[in-house]
Amino acid sequence: MNQQEGLPVLVFTDGDPYGWYIYSVVKQGSMALAAHSDYLASPEARYIGMTLDDVETYELQNVTEKMKDGDIKRAKEMLDYPWFKNKEWQRQLKKALKEKIRIEQQALANKSLEFVAKEYLPRKIKEEDFLP
């Protein structure tokens, strides 16, 4: 749809290493399927999902979760992935490791059930608040 119809690919996942990794698979392709990445990847994809900056921006401190050992291990690995060497991704990963917190999409329901569709996503799109 991106290549044929010119539609943008915006990925909305949890703000944790596994959600961010899912985004990288959409954008870069799977390491396990590297031979097919040219066909499966969407290199123009932009990350619109949860970030640790959202915790402060949307005052979600009371609905964060502690990172698990697997989250910490994955975040440390991701620091070395070439596609996460970008300044903003490095900052998010280091912030996650420092604060040892994660934020899930459902935390936005703390605001209201309509918050994601009527405020969060429209604002991110309008302000182009994406990670590369």
**11-63 residue pLDDT tens:** 999 999 999 999 998 888 765 555 445 556 788 899 999 999 999 999 999 99
Task: Of 30, 33, 110, give the one whose Cα is nearest residue 64.
Answer: 110
Q: Which residue has the higher pLDDT, 114 or 35?
A: 114
pTM: 0.86
Report in angstroms the alpha-carbon separations of 38 from 34, 122, 125: 8, 30, 27
- What 51-56 contacts at long range (C-beta under 8 Å, 24+ apart), as own/partner pairs, is 51/15, 51/92, 51/103, 51/131, 52/15, 52/92, 52/95, 52/96, 52/99, 52/101, 52/103, 53/92, 53/95, 54/15, 54/103, 55/15, 55/101, 55/103
The pLDDT assigned to 31 comes to 57
At residue 104, does pLDDT exceed 70?
yes
The pLDDT assigned to 32 comes to 55
Task: Give the separation between CA 40 and CA 23, rounded to whole angstroms.
Answer: 13
Instruction: Give the pLDDT band (50/70/90) at residue 95.
Output: very high
The fold of the 2-113 domain, in CATH, is Dna Topoisomerase Vi A Subunit; Chain: A, domain 2 (3.40.1360)
